[in-house]
A and B are shown apart, each in its own frame.
Chain A
Amino acid sequence: MLGLTKKDSTLLLVVFGLVMLAPFILNPFPEGSAMAQFNAGYPDLMQRFLIFGIFAIGFNLLFGLTGYLSFGHAAFLGVGSYAAIWSMKLVTLNVIPGILLAIAIAGAFSLLVGFVSLRRSGIYFSILTLAFAQMSYALAYSVLTPITGGETGLQIKNTDNPLFGALNPGEIGRANLFGLEMNSSFELNVGNWLFTFNLGYYIAAVFMLIAFYMSIRIFRSPFGMMLRAVKSNQQRMNYTGLTPKRYTLSAFVISGMYAGLAGGLMVAMDTQVGPERMFWTASGEVVIMTILGGAGTLMGPVLGAGFIKYLENIVSKINKDILHEWFAFLPDGLEDVLVTMVYPFVGKGWHLTMGILFMLVVIFLPGGLVEGGQRMAKLFRRNKAADAQDAASKPAE
């Protein structure tokens, strides 16, 4: 189906199902219940899953396949965002041109950065991307302020009058898809459950599914094989008549375009942008997501992005009161001890937890969640096989 193998088609369909049904799946707890805080089915968060999923899928094409570790991809996300918002301020509030412009500009920028950075490899390459990322951030923050709005960033103002906006003077434009407003939602109440269906989310979903599909195609293509060859043995590639650098640069630009798409979608959802989007630690976040999920795999980046964003949402909301609720069944002294022990890792301590999780993954499970899943499946199969063997050997007794 669509040129994919049976296995890949199934994977795509599963992801399609999950994404389309997310408003249901992510809101399993009734409103007002104690567990309702673990619901993730609201538009903001669901959109973030998809947007970072796209970012991570693109990053994975570069890092997962070729092994080149870039710390600069947040710059492409930022550039995409800036491009999109200018399109919406000047040309039209329709999100599609903005998103397309974001992809194009981010792609061009990544071509420039990639061309320069790939003159070296390994750690030199990583440091070059780091230098570019910081430079971009500094440029956005204090140098190119007319374009970027400096520290405060940009947003849609009531003084903006896009070419195809048909706005009344003083009216603040709203992002839309050919007229339909992005944040228009449809809420469905079934008993005590609340499900929200948001236009912006589904637009992002369409882009994400296309992005995911394309990544499958790339993985299974000769081009994808060449990228893995880059990671494996560049010398042999060279002496086989190939130019590893051009392949890597292509992967770099493609991943830059994915980042640009993510940036454009961010603006489509939430019409603002600021320079902090480009700080190198934001690049670090996508690195963490990809590795946590499983670098070099198809599902890895998607899993990683979802996992991190979900945990971030949940863990950040846990505060001392909630902890006390949880441990209330314990005797007071013990309860307090446990709360004090757990407290640094929740709420604002989310980044600490993320850092520790990341380290654990790099040290013990470098293949991420995908590897973890595969190992568990093996254990399960081995138990099944052992059971079967036992059953088979019994009659022989």
Chain B
Amino acid sequence: MAILSVKGVNKRFGGLQALGDVNLDVQENTVHAIIGPNGAGKSTLLNVLVGKLIPDSGSVMFDGQSVLGRKPHEINQMGISRVFQTPEIFGDLNVMENMLIPCFAKRDGAFRMHAIESIRHEKDMIEKAEEMLAEVNMLEKREMQASSMSRGDKRRLEMAMCLVQEPRLLLLDEPTAGMARADTENTIQLLKDIRTKRGITMAIIEHDMNVVFSLAERITVLAQGTPLVEDTPDNIKGHPKVREAYLGEAQV
């Protein structure tokens, strides 16, 4: 069952056809990677998926509802969580507060005037946050200011913040971009654990082939704004067209 269904999406910027007739289905409970050389349209596609860009034509359906032009908080409430290239967390707040915010958001919605309650009395929320922090081994760091953590830890925290809201789809935007080897390995392991433990659907836009082939169950290759091939990792590995797209010429 396709949880995310992209049909016939086109987007033109002036003279450039950034996305041409993109069709893509992300099946529930799979890890679907979207790869492609620079300029292939990955970022553009992502921006369409999160409602930031409205395509010239086509549809993007999530769970049967259109995603196009929706505000970010609506996207989240539909069940899509997003992990950014550079970890987006609340740097000024401590780890525990970072984790509490998505908990409150999930329970209370986009806005609630809870100015009289005290956080320390919200036992349920605190428990939920602590559970999640424990799951990603960050409970001891709960008092740490988020901005002072390593990039790997920030990435961990960000993913945990997404997961605590129990999203239907986790969108990852080049999650290992700019990471050192060790951090990348940790992130891959983290994602694998999340996958096995929670059976969550993931769509990953990625550059690092190592990450892609460790995690993906299905791969879509974009080139020049349009899907080239969509298949299993094994079939993609040796695919001549894919190599051509990346290297620019056929290799025998």
- Binary CB contact string for chain B from 80 to 118 against chain A (1 if under 8 A, 0 otherwise): 011010001111110001001110111011111111111
* Cα separation A202 to B53 with both chains bound (whole Å): 58
Smallest CB gap from A245: residue in B: B111
List chain A residues, Cβ under 8 A from B102.
240-241
Smallest CB gap from B77: residue in A: A241
List chain A residues, Cβ under 8 A from B91.
232-233
Chain A-chain B contacts (Cβ-Cβ < 8 Å), number? 104
Please report whether the interface of chain A is mostly helix, strand, loop or mixed according to DSSP: helix
* Cα separation A342 to B99 with both chains bound (whole Å): 53
Tell whether, in the assembled complex, residue A217 and residue B116 are in contact, meaning their CB atoms are under 8 Å apart: yes
> Given A225-B100, A228-B92, A233-B89: A241 and B115 within 8 A (CB)?
no
- The interface size of chain B toward A, counting residues with CB under 8 Å, comes to 40
Interface presence of B72 (CB below 8 A): yes
Chain B nearest CB: distance from A54 CB in Å? 17
List chain A residues, Cβ under 8 A from B84.
235
Interface residues of A in 218-270 (CB under 8 A from B): 218, 220-226, 228-229, 231-233, 235-243, 246-247, 250, 254
Interface presence of B71 (CB below 8 A): yes
* Cα separation A221 to B115 with both chains bound (whole Å): 5
List chain A residues, Cβ under 8 A from B71.
238
List chain A residues, Cβ under 8 A from B77.
241
Interface presence of B250 (CB below 8 A): no
List chain A residues, Cβ under 8 A from B90.
228-229, 232-233, 236
Tell whether, in the assembled complex, residue B104 and residue A222 are in contact, meaning their CB atoms are under 8 Å apart: yes
> Given A239-B72, A239-B75, A241-B165: A222 and B122 within 8 A (CB)?
yes
* Cα separation A5 to B118 with both chains bound (whole Å): 10
* Cα separation A236 to B89 with both chains bound (whole Å): 6
Chain A nearest CB: distance from B177 CB in Å? 17
Candidates A217, A229, A239; contact of B76 at CB < 8 Å? A239
* Cα separation A5 to B102 with both chains bound (whole Å): 24
* Cα separation A207 to B114 with both chains bound (whole Å): 22
* Cα separation A85 to B93 with both chains bound (whole Å): 43
Chain A nearest CB: distance from B109 CB in Å? 7
Tell whether, in the assembled complex, residue B120 and residue A220 are in contact, meaning their CB atoms are under 8 Å apart: yes
List chain B residues, Cβ under 8 A from A247.
111
List chain A residues, Cβ under 8 A from B105.
240-242
Tell whether, in the assembled complex, residue A241 and residue B109 are in contact, meaning their CB atoms are under 8 Å apart: yes
Candidates A218, A221, A233; contact of B88 at CB < 8 Å? A233
List chain A residues, Cβ under 8 A from B92.
228, 231-232
Interface presence of A191 (CB below 8 A): no
Interface presence of B237 (CB below 8 A): no
Smallest CB gap from A222: residue in B: B114
Interface presence of B161 (CB below 8 A): yes
Chain A nearest CB: distance from B117 CB in Å? 5
Chain B nearest CB: distance from A214 CB in Å? 8
List chain A residues, Cβ under 8 A from B161.
236, 240
Interface presence of B119 (CB below 8 A): yes
List chain A residues, Cβ under 8 A from B88.
233, 235-236, 239
Chain B nearest CB: distance from A202 CB in Å? 26
* Cα separation A223 to B118 with both chains bound (whole Å): 9
Candidates A225, A231, A254; contact of B101 at CB < 8 Å? A225
Interface residues of B in 162-177 (CB under 8 A from A): 165
Tell whether, in the assembled complex, residue B119 and residue A220 are in contact, meaning their CB atoms are under 8 Å apart: yes
Tell whether, in the assembled complex, residue A239 and residue B110 are in contact, meaning their CB atoms are under 8 Å apart: no
Interface presence of A3 (CB below 8 A): yes
Tell whether, in the assembled complex, residue A225 and residue B110 are in contact, meaning their CB atoms are under 8 Å apart: no
Chain A nearest CB: distance from B142 CB in Å? 14
- Binary CB contact string for chain B from 54 to 72 against chain A (1 if under 8 A, 0 otherwise): 0000000000000000011
**4 closest A-B pairs by CB:** A241-B76, A238-B72, A223-B115, A232-B90
